[in-house]
Amino acid sequence: MTKFIKSIAIAAIAMAAVPAVAAPEAPAAQPCNNEIILHAWSWSFNTIREHLSEIKDAGYTIVQTSPINECYVGDNGGRQLFGNGKWYYHYQPTDWTIGNYQLGTRDEFKAMCDAARALGLRVIVDVLPNHTVIDRTKINPRLDKAVGGRENLFHANGLWPIKDYSDRYQCTTGEMGTLPDVNTENPDFQHYYMTYVNDVLACGARGFRYDTAKHIGLPDEPRDPKSPQNDFWDVAMGRKAVKGLRLAIPRDSLFIYGEVLQDKNVPEKGYAEYMDLTASNLGWVLREALNKHNAKAGDITSWHHSVDPLHLVTWVESHDTYCNEHASAGMSDELIRLGWVYLTARQFGTPLFYSRPHGSTRQNYWGDNEIGKVGNDEFKHPLVKAINEFRHRVAGQGERVSFSDNGKQIVVERGAKAFVVINLDEQAADVALPVSVQNGKYRDAVTRARYQVKKGELKATLAPMTALVLYK
């Protein structure tokens, strides 16, 4: 049997002593994150609408789209993820209006949002006000006119490449990866951009992911010569109006997070004043542990962030880690799934599931290689569905996280009557796991097999590379 030691106990639930004649009080609900995001990466609006019932059934509460703005048409309008067409062309805005040749029209976007709302799902949109298309000849003249001419569209430093990303002036005003840096502090641009944002909300979206958010300066950061004040985030979050225009829906009613990838000299707490943030360092540490099949390969209990985990978006992988240099693309679906079980079982962080391309394998990362097509079936895998449901059922319950002495097994307990066991071992493992949940019989949500906790211990034979989702 594998020895098992307790490594961390967080937010355990305790009940106050009461007189014997009184009914016991239920433990107070604890702070936690209940949302679950599906990143429907490169799915078209019609494809998302066609699969909304499956998304709902799989336990997600939020659907994140790829950028829906007018974008660069390259490779003669090809629609491959990579090759004759590129997935990242929709990250090269030519204008801030709804609809593009890759994902669909404004009417199709609205129809998708309407259908999502009818099912109780929220749609959030990936937005990118920080930069335009690389080929500046492709910028829509309408945008130039709106901002008072091309000379007002970019920062004074906006066509100079960033050489030092820890230099906040360069990072927030310079050209990132050949992408020209927009003067986000120009009131004319802000008004034009917020017109787009409000149209997105009018169509039914209820939140945003801000791409490259750390490249837009905070109020107290260095200013570009063209920027009288760094007030973009105050405008974008509805704290102030621009030329009489304000965010159409109160900020508190929207789910908004920023891609603030962690690095030295990034003012994380400053950005957290405006939005939730990505826990990118946790993703790296978790992937290392998964690849080594050892939960102790790094401290995965830590959130590796200076911000309260209630305001973090977590992932095993993102579209960037999958596509850019394929940092996570070589990981098996089974490994990604186990990492997802771990993140989703936890009390804090809002987990985001990245939908890999349909037909993708570890030898062919692009799979069917079609923009607009549904991703592979992993987003609705039985274990993924089971852990999503687990998150909803244990909402408000505290967590306890522990590991085996060899790091091959992980236990996440939520409250007193539900827990998850993850086996990272590539071999079957006989284990005896000390747990704090109540003694008694438990049933696995996937296999329906029964297990027993006796005298504070679960003895079981765990199949390789899988997990149990257990309820009393």
Amino acid 27: pLDDT: 61
Q: Is 220 a catalytic residue?
A: no
Q: How far apart are CA 431 and CA 469, in angstroms?
A: 16
Amino acid 18: pLDDT: 33
Count how many Cα atoms sit within 13 Å of the Cα of residue 183 in the half-sphere of its side chain.
Answer: 25
Amino acid 415: pLDDT: 97
When computed from its CA atoms, the radius of gyration of the chain, rounded to whole angstroms, is 24
- For 416-456, what is each residue's pLDDT tens digit? 999 999 999 999 999 999 999 999 999 999 999 999 999 99
Do residues 279 and 312 touch, judged by C-beta distance below 8 A?
A: yes
- For 319-340, what is each residue's pLDDT tens digit? 999 999 899 999 999 999 999 9
| C-alpha 168 chain-centroid distance | 25
Is the pLDDT at 396 greater than 90? The verdict is: yes
DSSP 8-state class, residue 177: T
| Residue in 144, 167, 199, 211 annotated catalytic | 211
- Taking residues 130-148, what's their average pLDDT? 97
Phi, psi of 28 (to 5 degrees): -65, 140
Q: What's the token pair of residue 393? A: 């059922």
Phi, psi of 9 (to 5 degrees): -135, 115
Is the pLDDT at 17 greater than 50? The verdict is: no
Phi, psi of 279 (to 5 degrees): -95, 65
- Taking residues 302-326, what's their average pLDDT? 97
Is the pLDDT at 125 greater than 80? The verdict is: yes
Q: What's the token pair of residue 38? A: 């599906």
The pLDDT > 70 percentage for the chain reads 94
Residues β-bridged to residue 424: none
Angle at 26 between CA 23 and CA 32, to 5 degrees: 175
Amino acid 381: pLDDT: 98
What is the identity of the amino acid at 76? N
- For 266-296, what is each residue's pLDDT tens digit? 999 999 999 999 999 999 999 999 999 999 9
Residues β-bridged to residue 100: 104
Is the pLDDT at 19 greater than 90? The verdict is: no
Is the pLDDT at 244 greater than 50? The verdict is: yes
- For 42-82, what is each residue's pLDDT tens digit? 999 999 999 999 999 999 999 999 999 999 999 999 999 99
pLDDT-derived band at 10 (thresholds 50, 70, 90) equals very low
Q: How far apart are CA 414 and CA 472, in angstroms?
A: 12
Helix/strand/coil (H/E/C) assignment for every residue in 68-108: CEEECCCHHHCCCCEECEEHHHHHCEEEEEECECCCECHHH
Q: What's the token pair of residue 468? A: 């149990």
Amino acid 30: pLDDT: 85
Amino acid 25: pLDDT: 52
- Taking residues 201-212, what's their average pLDDT? 98
Cα separations in angstroms, 456 against 7, 14, 193, 432: 16, 17, 57, 10
Q: How far apart are CA 216 and CA 171, in angstroms?
A: 8
Average pLDDT, rounded, for the chain: 94
Amino acid 28: pLDDT: 73
- Taking residues 356-376, what's their average pLDDT? 98
Is the pLDDT at 153 greater than 60? The verdict is: yes
Tokens 């909402």 belong to: 395
Question: Of 159, 274, 176, 134, which Cα lies nearest the Cα of 226?
Answer: 159
Amino acid 29: pLDDT: 79
Domains of the chain from N-terminus onward: 4-28+402-471 (2.60.40.1180), 37-395 (3.20.20.80)
Beta-strand (E) ranges in 345-439? 350-354, 399-404, 409-414, 418-423, 429-434
Phi, psi of 297 (to 5 degrees): -65, -20
CB atoms within 10 A of CB 6: 14
pLDDT-derived band at 24 (thresholds 50, 70, 90) equals very low
Is the pLDDT at 12 greater than 60? The verdict is: no
Amino acid 325: pLDDT: 85
Q: Which long-range contacts (CB under 8 A, 24 or more apart) does 316-320 make?
A: 316/283, 316/286, 316/287, 316/290, 316/340, 316/343, 316/354, 317/283, 317/287, 317/354, 318/39, 318/278, 318/280, 318/283, 318/352, 318/354, 319/39, 319/41, 319/87, 319/354
The pLDDT > 90 percentage for the chain reads 93
| Residue in 259, 389, 399, 444 annotated catalytic | 259
- For 85-94, what is each residue's pLDDT tens digit? 999 999 999 9
Q: Is 211 a catalytic residue?
A: yes
Say if strands 276-278 and 255-258 run parallel, antiparallel, or are unpaired: parallel
